[in-house]
Amino acid sequence: VFDVLIVGGGPAGAASAIYAARKGINTGVLAERFGGQVLDTLAIENFVSIKETDGPKFAVALEQHVKEYEVDIINTQRAIKLVPGRIAEVHTATGAVLKAKTVILSTGARWREINVPGEKEYRNHGVAYCPHCDGPLFKGKRVAVIGGGNSGVEAAIDLAGIVQHVTLIEFGAELRADAVLQRKLRSLPNVTVILSAQTTEIHGDGKKVNGLSYKDRNTNELHRVELEGVFVQIGLVPNTEWLKGTVALSKHGEIEIDAKGQTSVPGVFAAGDVTTVPYKQIVIAVGAGATAALSAFDHLIRSGDD
């Protein structure tokens, strides 16, 4: 039986593991992909005290730091069920059952998909989700960004510096990004903004993307844009499908936590992008992971189980 079982091996889970292990308690980390979202990024320039690094390097550093301590890392295993209790159970997709006195949920988030024909077929063949990672692949080409929130507009500004032309497609009648970003976007000569547009299909030649169709929501007319790449930027989805009905989730599916990282279930804590924390960033996830581990330790002492 673990004193603390952490589900998720991203920055939040790694920080929880280090903080828990340093208390000398029996600590385990169950992760589908140790490293988490940072594995999918290139430059990281905002992790305070590290001026610049890249995602894969950062992920290796996380794992090495965790391995300095006695932590049982169970990698490439997916949790499918949490059964709360004085001794909680975490069931994995392979049928294993892990037992723990406290659990920290840090399963992070993933990009939201638009679910139109062509999206899955051309993923990584023109359909992308990460401008930082894949932007340079479209140097000199034409791309669309789907989504006019902060992430979509930031992506369009970023890509405009690399690609030949960016078409920003927004479903609503106006952009939802901060005014300062919108001003910046509108100052760029190689960006076209299309509002009230519903993407209906991503086209390709069987190998690569070559176009995108959208419906003008005012006139219902269909239009086609010729291009080589599509960046989908319509938000992050928390990885909480497996937790429905066990811990309280917000209307966006994020785990509700208090300032100590406590969820609605005693002995179950959460940290990072999977929670209601307002900003989804590495440095924030790391801090939240430390908080959750210290709270789990506090819970163990108070429940007399330690």
Binding residues for FAD: 3-18, 263-273
User: In what order do the strands lie in the sheet containing 197-204?
Assistant: 197-204, 209-216, 222-226
Site string for ligand FAD, 122-151 (x = CB under 6 A): --------x-xx------------------
Among 27, 37, 102, 295, binds ligand FAD (CB under 6 A): 37
Q: Binding to ligand FAD by residue 272, rule CB under 6 A?
A: yes
Candidates 107, 151, 167, 199; binder of ligand FAD (CB under 6 A) is 107
Of residues 209 through 248, those in contact with ligand FAD by CB under 6 A are 239, 242
Q: Which two tokens stand for residue 22?
A: 């340093």
- Is 100 a binder of ligand FAD (CB under 6 A)? no
Which is closer to ligand FAD, CB of 17 or CB of 197? 17
For 6, list phi and psi in degrees, rounded to 5: -100, 130
Query: Which range, of 100-108, 186-194, 212-220, 245-253, touches ligand FAD by CB under 6 A?
Result: 100-108
Distance CA 13, CA 4 (A): 11
Known binding residues for NAD(+) are 142-156
Q: Are strands 109-111 and 127-128 parallel, antiparallel or unpaired?
A: unpaired
Confirm or reject binding of residue 36 to ligand FAD (CB under 6 A). Answer: yes
Q: Of 101-109, 117-125, 136-144, 256-264, which segment contacts ligand FAD by CB under 6 A?
A: 101-109
Cα dist. 60→11, 130, 171 in Å? 11, 20, 39
- Distances from the Cα of 221 to the Cαs of 174, 192, 197, 232, in angstroms? 19, 18, 10, 22
3-class secondary-structure state, position 80: strand
Amino acid identity for residue 103 in this structure: V
Output 36 or 204, the one with its CB closest to ligand FAD.
36
- Residues 73-92 binding ligand FAD (CB under 6 A) are 78-79
Query: What are the counts of helices (DSSP H) followed by strands (DSSP E) for the chain?
Result: 6, 19
Cβ distance to ligand FAD smaller for residue 78 or 176: 78
* Other Cβ atoms closer than 10 A to 226: 10
> In whole angstroms, what is the distance from residue 100 CA to residue 124 CA?
39
Integer Cα distance of 47 and 51 in angstroms:
7
> What is the spatial distance between Cα 290 and Cα 29, in angstroms, rounded to a whole number?
14
Known binding-site positions: 3-18, 142-156, 263-273
Beta bridge partners of 198: 215
Residues 1-20 interacting with ligand FAD (rule: CB under 6 A) = 7-13
Q: Is residue 197 part of the contact set for ligand FAD (CB under 6 A)?
A: no
Q: Report how many residues bind ligand FAD under the rule CB under 6 A.
A: 38
Q: Which is nearer to ligand FAD, 30 or 185 (CB)?
A: 30
Of the residues 4, 17, 18, 30, which one makes contact with ligand FAD according to CB under 6 A = 30
- Kindly list the residues in this chain that would bind ligand FAD in the complex (CB under 6 A): 7-13, 30-34, 36-38, 40-41, 44, 46, 78-79, 106-109, 130, 132-133, 239, 242, 272-274, 280-283, 285
